[in-house]
Chains A and B, each alone.
Chain A
């Protein structure tokens, strides 16, 4: 299974990359290659040009300042997984990353690649949805940003023009006493999620939930936030009925059917995993509080 022929370009600057993408017909960007590589080998895609982003300077940074996280699109998943600052500020990132493929694929895979490829079952977009991340793009018409909520346009179709490059992601880490959980159901270790749920909770001084974010992966073409479920949690102290109410909201979500699972089964999983994620996040938040 060999790829079809292409012309290879390896720009060393972002402007060079943008210039290439803008002037070439039928070009594809190469980031980690863990998704594109198989597609090329299967000839599912046959680009005339391959623009390799791996040598573009400074797309790999991880900056955290005053709670604002800024990550370059080409930051390797494995590097993100091991970054101590990120682990401290946003521990859910690592928890989700440990579900992403296998350590060999994370050695090459990038966060930008995952977001730009936008497989419905991909974990990282689910985390970005929790944080309402901002995605930064560069193109021939200049730079623009897209909020995560507006990122998914259709099946594997992000809000990204063919001549634009995702350059970075930015979000605000949560403040105060908080808990997190990323819970996934997959057939085997490292498989894409059939359904995954991410949850962030922040507590007030009385251990009541003052802020909640729940995102669902695998039910639609892009991750879905559950404001109706989040609402049920605000003010609660992780009681059984609040969690069940949130789970019930998750079960109502319209979920797709495909080769791997039916919509009905995904709905069932959504409910089960939401309950688990909220429970775990709340326990962790309490544990954090106890440490103070």
Chain B
């Protein structure tokens, strides 16, 4: 295959329209007769609904309808990800029935001429609540006798997820050292700059329901709408238009989507609902708390024999997305390490807060944090260098493919395909000046600053199952169109597919048109998540384009009476190598294969110049890397900033370097934002969210970013035709541990261990003072 475009930082084909202000995001859709929706949401964390008075709201001029439970759906929403371990499979009603279980839960739906009026009316809806005890704190929720987040539940236990292999008991019994730590982690919310949004249109003539949604999972939405409404899937079209960031929460299927899909046929007019930022804080899924008590069994040489831990995960009030988030936080052990035994079990509990679901990294950051802090813990206690401990524990590249001992959901053993973890660590160590860091630390001290350096290594399952597909077609005009079920959420997927297809068909990526995200345009797909698009859709596009290429060459060979091996495809035509004037345009081949009236098709050729292919990975492919952070703390105030951030990263074959860099830097930004700035605060007693605007909930801004230093390795994966691995989450996954490791290193004079995040300046001061006064205590 030619590689003129693959590996090249081709300018994105998505950009010109957006730069001109001609993106088409869901709120940009305006249709004749369209009405706008505002939701009445629960102002109580837990309450019985005694009554809903809609009279005043319904009577407001400009209001078309005020809908409640009885008007829409009488059953709970379909479970997106069923799992045998799900003990309490409680999903929401599209509009609440008798009980609300978090501030933000949908109660009523106001439909009006415009959003201004809809909000006026929503304010007039009077809900009669009978407040009930609410539980917010994840540890409280897990205790026996805790207030129940759901009245009819026996307790708050959603699931107990074990992850066990090897012989942990023996490992602990025989270990030279056992270290115990508690880890407290919190990651906040989604905060894509575009909130969610839905437009639902029912066409009476065709009985087709069309839903535009700012979603990452248009096929799942289609499937669940069909299952809930009873409407055939073929009569439901779900389109993801331009999506302004997804990051995971836009994968879930939401009550608002369903409510609009149910209401549009009833009201006979297109409906639009756009989530505003206040709603985003209380209605879009988050990833909040996980608390773990973990023991590490180690030899005196720092080899980790086993990890044993018990964790609790805050799942919020419902499980719309099954157990994918807490599962992701256990199945990734042992990470890049040769740890032979594992016993990590997590209890997933309900709380009266917004439901949680995966956000960039999807549970893996939780696991990475514990693995990496454990490595630092071993190093610290055994007085070994942190990098050396990792070296002693890494799976070596000669051991690939490596079976960890764990099992995938389908029963297959977890296997890592390829990767040289030590090489990435070495690259990062070298680039960061880790060996000579003492000098930098001393210099900072002369300025009254504490400098620290932290390491985190990781591997990551990417390109997760199931399939994605692509259809590649050359039209009679010569235009090449790629259609895929995979969705674009800003990562440049269309450009990547254009590059792959352009290389197969000797074209310019700018001339390849890519259509994505429409269930009517392409029959099957899954979702844009889990760093999977380049692996799945990319491989599929490659396979389909290869088939088109082969067909074109075969046809041309016959037509031109040449050998296929003497032909190549260049600039829109099949050409004889060395004699470019002897050529047959792809457009002409397409025309002949598309046929003429009363002319039989060419013998031995199916109609058209196109092909459809799917890539269905049997196993994930594993990216890996090492991150190193340099952090500077001002001890007087606790102000902490990340000064330099080094990434040595391996995502297999790189299609577009600048796009991969963009994913890494963006992922790191998300991670630093989680560690130093983001905390979704709920009042423990009332369950009221306290941080519901961007003055109270802080996102990282441009001046907060460190100098970034990126290096790449390309260890191709043997498990897909283009050798790629995913890159979307590799910046985030290790970032939390990297920064915390650096903070701990900076505070080493104070003898502080840091096993938590987020870390505010005040918290840093608290840690320093606590340790100092502990040290001062009379012995």
A–B touch (CB < 8 A): the answer is: yes
Binding site for B on A (CB under 8 A): 1-2, 4-5, 38, 42-43, 185, 187-192, 259, 261-262, 265, 268-269, 272
**Residue pair B696, A259 in contact (C-beta under 8 Å):** yes
Choose one: A5, A187, A269; the contact of B698 (CB below 8 Å). A187
**Residue pair B116, A185 in contact (C-beta under 8 Å):** no
25 A-B residue pairings within 8 Å (CB atoms): A1-B119, A1-B277, A1-B278, A2-B115, A4-B119, A4-B123, A5-B120, A42-B278, A42-B693, A43-B119, A185-B639, A187-B698, A187-B760, A188-B677, A188-B698, A188-B701, A189-B701, A189-B703, A190-B701, A192-B695, A262-B762, A265-B765, A268-B636, A268-B637, A272-B636
- With A42-B693, A268-B765 as known contacts, state yes or no: A188 contacts B116, CB within 8 Å: no
Question: Given A188-B677, A259-B690, 10 more contacts at CB 8 Å?
Answer: A1-B278, A4-B119, A5-B120, A187-B677, A187-B698, A187-B761, A189-B701, A191-B698, A268-B636, A272-B636
Residues of B within 8 A of A185 (CB): 637, 639
Residues of A within 8 A of B119 (CB): 1-2, 4, 43
Residues of A within 8 A of B698 (CB): 187-188, 191
Q: Is B661 close to A, CB under 8 A?
A: no
Residues of A within 8 A of B693 (CB): 38, 42
Q: Is B301 close to A, CB under 8 A?
A: no
- With A188-B704, A272-B637 as known contacts, state yes or no: A4 contacts B120, CB within 8 Å: yes
Residues of A within 8 A of B120 (CB): 4-5
Which residue of the partner chain B has the closest CB to A276?
B636
Give the 10 A-B CB pairs with smallest separation, nearest first. A1-B276, A2-B116, A265-B762, A272-B636, A189-B703, A2-B119, A188-B701, A1-B278, A261-B762, A187-B698
B256 shortest CB reach to chain A, Å: 16
**Residue pair A43, B115 in contact (C-beta under 8 Å):** no
Separation of A185 and B761 alpha carbons in the complex (Å): 10
Separation of A203 and B765 alpha carbons in the complex (Å): 36
Which residue of the partner chain A has the closest CB to B118?
A2
Choose one: A1, A4, A259, A262; the contact of B691 (CB below 8 Å). A259
Complex interface residues of chain B between 726 and 779 (CB less than 8 A to chain A): 760-762, 765
Separation of A190 and B695 alpha carbons in the complex (Å): 11
A148 shortest CB reach to chain B, Å: 25
Separation of A189 and B677 alpha carbons in the complex (Å): 13
Separation of A262 and B765 alpha carbons in the complex (Å): 12
Residues of B within 8 A of A38 (CB): 693
Residues of B within 8 A of A259 (CB): 681, 690-691, 696
Which residue of the partner chain A has the closest CB to B760?
A187
A115 shortest CB reach to chain B, Å: 19
Contact with A along B99-121 (1 / 0, CB 8 A): 00000000000000001100110
Separation of A259 and B681 alpha carbons in the complex (Å): 9
Separation of A269 and B762 alpha carbons in the complex (Å): 10
A69 shortest CB reach to chain B, Å: 31
A247 shortest CB reach to chain B, Å: 11
A178 shortest CB reach to chain B, Å: 26
Residues of A within 8 A of B637 (CB): 185, 268-269, 272
Separation of A175 and B115 alpha carbons in the complex (Å): 56
**Residue pair B703, A188 in contact (C-beta under 8 Å):** yes
**Residue among B120, B278, B762 facing the most chain A CB atoms (10 A cut-off):** B762
Residues of B within 8 A of A1 (CB): 119, 276-278
Separation of A42 and B123 alpha carbons in the complex (Å): 12
Residues of B within 8 A of A42 (CB): 278, 693
Which residue of the partner chain B has the closest CB to A271?
B636
Residues of B within 8 A of A262 (CB): 762
Contact with A along B686-726 (1 / 0, CB 8 A): 00001101011010110110000000000000000000000
B58 shortest CB reach to chain A, Å: 18
Separation of A188 and B678 alpha carbons in the complex (Å): 12
Residues of B within 8 A of A189 (CB): 701, 703-704
B633 shortest CB reach to chain A, Å: 14
Residues of A within 8 A of B276 (CB): 1
Residues of A within 8 A of B761 (CB): 187
A44 shortest CB reach to chain B, Å: 10
Which residue of the partner chain A has the closest CB to B278?
A1
Separation of A90 and B528 alpha carbons in the complex (Å): 56
Which residue of the partner chain A has the closest CB to B636?
A272
Separation of A261 and B639 alpha carbons in the complex (Å): 13
Which residue of the partner chain A has the closest CB to B635?
A272
Separation of A5 and B61 alpha carbons in the complex (Å): 13
Residues of B within 8 A of A192 (CB): 695
A262 shortest CB reach to chain B, Å: 7
Residues of A within 8 A of B677 (CB): 187-188
A46 shortest CB reach to chain B, Å: 9
Separation of A190 and B701 alpha carbons in the complex (Å): 10
**Residue pair A43, B690 in contact (C-beta under 8 Å):** no
B273 shortest CB reach to chain A, Å: 13
Separation of A191 and B693 alpha carbons in the complex (Å): 13
Separation of A262 and B761 alpha carbons in the complex (Å): 11
Residues of B within 8 A of A261 (CB): 762
A256 shortest CB reach to chain B, Å: 14
Complex interface residues of chain B between 366 and 413 (CB less than 8 A to chain A): none
B685 shortest CB reach to chain A, Å: 16
Residues of A within 8 A of B701 (CB): 188-190
Separation of A43 and B690 alpha carbons in the complex (Å): 17
Which residue of the partner chain B has the closest CB to A272?
B636
Residues of B within 8 A of A5 (CB): 116, 120
Residues of A within 8 A of B690 (CB): 259
Separation of A1 and B762 alpha carbons in the complex (Å): 33
Residues of A within 8 A of B115 (CB): 2
Separation of A43 and B760 alpha carbons in the complex (Å): 30
A222 shortest CB reach to chain B, Å: 19
Choose one: B123, B703, B704; the contact of A43 (CB below 8 Å). B123
A203 shortest CB reach to chain B, Å: 27
Separation of A279 and B681 alpha carbons in the complex (Å): 38
A50 shortest CB reach to chain B, Å: 15
B67 shortest CB reach to chain A, Å: 20
Which residue of the partner chain B has the closest CB to A121?
B695
Separation of A87 and B762 alpha carbons in the complex (Å): 34
Which residue of the partner chain A has the closest CB to B697?
A259
Separation of A190 and B703 alpha carbons in the complex (Å): 10
Residues of B within 8 A of A187 (CB): 677, 698, 760-761
A191 shortest CB reach to chain B, Å: 8
Separation of A230 and B636 alpha carbons in the complex (Å): 22
Which residue of the partner chain B has the closest CB to A190?
B701
Which residue of the partner chain A has the closest CB to B695?
A192
B682 shortest CB reach to chain A, Å: 12
**Residue among A2, A4, A191, A268 facing the most chain B CB atoms (10 A cut-off):** A2
A45 shortest CB reach to chain B, Å: 13
Separation of A34 and B120 alpha carbons in the complex (Å): 23
A185 shortest CB reach to chain B, Å: 6
Residues of B within 8 A of A191 (CB): 695, 698
A10 shortest CB reach to chain B, Å: 20
A36 shortest CB reach to chain B, Å: 14
Separation of A187 and B637 alpha carbons in the complex (Å): 11
Contact with A along B617-639 (1 / 0, CB 8 A): 00000000000000000001101
Which residue of the partner chain A has the closest CB to B762?
A265
Residues of B within 8 A of A4 (CB): 119-120, 123
B194 shortest CB reach to chain A, Å: 15
Separation of A89 and B279 alpha carbons in the complex (Å): 47
Separation of A54 and B761 alpha carbons in the complex (Å): 40
Separation of A170 and B276 alpha carbons in the complex (Å): 42
Residues of A within 8 A of B765 (CB): 265, 268
Residues of A within 8 A of B639 (CB): 185
A55 shortest CB reach to chain B, Å: 24
Residues of A within 8 A of B123 (CB): 4, 43
Separation of A42 and B276 alpha carbons in the complex (Å): 10
Separation of A262 and B691 alpha carbons in the complex (Å): 16
B640 shortest CB reach to chain A, Å: 11
A48 shortest CB reach to chain B, Å: 13
Separation of A43 and B762 alpha carbons in the complex (Å): 32
A277 shortest CB reach to chain B, Å: 13
Separation of A265 and B765 alpha carbons in the complex (Å): 8
